[in-house]
Amino acid sequence: MNVELISIGDEIITGHTVDTNSVYIARKLAEIGLNVVYKTAVGDDLKRMEEVFYQAIKRADIVITTGGLGPTDDDITKRVIVKVFKRNLVFQEDILDDIRRRFEVRGIRMPSINQNQALLPQGATYLANRTCSAVGILIAEEGKIFVALPGVPREAKTIVDEELIPFLQGRVKQSHICVIKLRTTGIIESALAEKIAPNLKVPDTVRFAYLPSYSGVDLRIIASAPNKETGDSDAESVATRLRELVGEYIFGENDDTLESVIGKLLSERGQSLTVAESCTAGLLAGQITSVPGSSAYFERGVVTYSNLSKVELLGVPEKIIEEHGAVSRETAEAMVLGLREKYKSDYGVSITGIAGPDGGTDEKPVGTVFIAVSSADGVKSKRLSLSRDREINRRRSVYAAMELLRRTILEND
């Protein structure tokens, strides 16, 4: 069964909001074997919404909209549903009670405007929303399923997880989809393709793609088959070949992230980590600790943005900064040595660089970053030449530092 997702809202088509709902929903649907084939976004415009709804119902089996179900005036999805499905809105007392109860639990008085949310198209099923006041709407008619969800991501997510997916799972005839994602870092897409393309045969039932992102390039394999065994084995045989061809660049698979892989390596070894950051100013520590349970191996970090803080918090000799500059291999190494000496962790990581937009020189242009990793086995450092963009430089430095750490842990074994 094919699915079309429709995202509604001026904020989405004008680019004032990033549409993360359709991303989340597509992934959850894929897990139960449902394919999204179109995604459409349309503004808060009755006529265009109507047209888009009609087209979707025509070309897809399941249509899921997000947005336009909130309590405020610009939320008009229900009006379009009434028009397209030729139904009246009916006031449902039980929904109002439910919404009232939720506000009570949170200790907030329910604004009277929220009463609108208890109006539902006749014959529609209501999808409860544990976390907030907006409810989802489901209409099943002539073999098609139409679902309208609120646009606030955490509300949409809750309804999808707790109501929609269980409902659809009972309804759809599943063809099994097996997805494997091999995550690489430290190599560009075309260089990967040069190693892979001439040496990989992909069967017709499998789709293979390169997906570049900040952290590196993901290699994604999607196999579809009538049963789980065939799907798994088709995808796995492509994955095995890829591991042979470019395994040295693969840091993890599927939901692995560099930070979760590092967390696993450190936990298994009972080892600890501290970090010292200049240009990334906390982003590395923040990324490392995005893993639940990271307190088992991450104990502290320092953000040494100024020269003085590098001297005071890390014991970097002033002379090194004067001679080589705060952004230098020597300073990065002194930072990480001081860090481990002062705070006694098994691994230390440091980052210092010129994130931009200002501060570059001919010798060290914007995007010049030094990273260093220290352990009982010594210090390793690396110079990066990144971009002119401040945020890209900061993010990439974090990933490059994590990759240097990961390789060092493995080499130390």
Which of positions 220-279 make contact with a copy of itself (CB under 8 A)? 220, 222, 275, 277
Cβ closest to a copy of itself, residue 96 vs residue 139: 96
Near a copy of itself by CB under 8 A: residue from 65, 77, 184, 280: 280
Cβ closest to a copy of itself, residue 203 vs residue 357: 357
CB of 413 to a copy of itself, least distance (A): 26
Phi, psi of 380 (to 5 degrees): -125, 140
Could you say which DSSP state residue 146 is in?
Answer: E
Residues 192-221 that bind a copy of itself (CB under 8 A): 193-194, 197, 207-213, 218, 220
Q: Regarding beta strands 144-149 and 206-213, do their DSSP bridges make them parallel or antiparallel, or are they unpaired? A: unpaired
- Please, what is the Cα angle at 401 between 410 and 395, to 5 degrees? 140
Near a copy of itself by CB under 8 A: residue from 86, 94, 105, 112: 112
Residues 336-395 that bind a copy of itself (CB under 8 A): 356-358, 387, 389-392, 394
The contact mask relative to a copy of itself for 7-46 (x = CB under 8 A, - = no) is x-xxxxxxxxxxxx-xxxxxx--x-----xxxxxxxxxx-
Cβ closest to a copy of itself, residue 140 vs residue 311: 311
Which residue in the block uniquely carries the two structure tokens 């680019």? 15
Q: Report how many residues bind a copy of itself under the rule CB under 8 A.
A: 102
CB of 284 to a copy of itself, least distance (A): 7
Asked if 83 and 50 count as a contact pair (C-beta separation under 8 A), the reply is yes
Near a copy of itself by CB under 8 A: residue from 180, 285, 316, 409: 285
Cross-strand pairs, 277 = 303, 351
Alpha-carbon distance 317 to 313, whole Å?
A: 11
Residues 129-148 that bind a copy of itself (CB under 8 A): 131, 133
CB of 242 to a copy of itself, least distance (A): 14
Cβ closest to a copy of itself, residue 308 vs residue 410: 308
* Residues in the chain, overall count: 413
Neighbours of 268 (CB within 10 A): 10
The contact mask relative to a copy of itself for 294-313 (x = CB under 8 A, - = no) is xx--xxxxxxxxx-xx---x
Could you say which DSSP state residue 159 is in?
Answer: H
CB of 196 to a copy of itself, least distance (A): 9
Neighbours of 317 (CB within 10 A): 14
The contact mask relative to a copy of itself for 58-97 (x = CB under 8 A, - = no) is ------------xxxxx-----------------------
Q: Closest Cα partner for 398 from 363, 364, 355?
A: 355
Cβ closest to a copy of itself, residue 48 vs residue 87: 48
CB of 215 to a copy of itself, least distance (A): 12
CB of 134 to a copy of itself, least distance (A): 10
Q: Closest Cα partner for 327 from 282, 284, 358, 286?
A: 358
Near a copy of itself by CB under 8 A: residue from 77, 114, 224, 350: 114
Alpha-carbon distance 32 to 166, whole Å?
A: 10
CB of 279 to a copy of itself, least distance (A): 8
Q: Regarding beta strands 62-66 and 2-8, do their DSSP bridges make them parallel or antiparallel, or are they unpaired? A: parallel
The token duo for 52 is 């888009």
Cβ closest to a copy of itself, residue 246 vs residue 275: 275
CB of 145 to a copy of itself, least distance (A): 18
Cβ closest to a copy of itself, residue 226 vs residue 357: 357
Alpha-carbon distance 294 to 285, whole Å?
A: 10
Which residue in the block uniquely carries the two structure tokens 């976004």? 41
Phi-psi region of 28 (alpha: psi -120 to 50; beta: other; left: phi over 0): alpha
- The Cα-based distances of 156 to 7, 14, 241, 374 in angstroms read 12, 21, 38, 44
100 touches a copy of itself (CB under 8 A): no
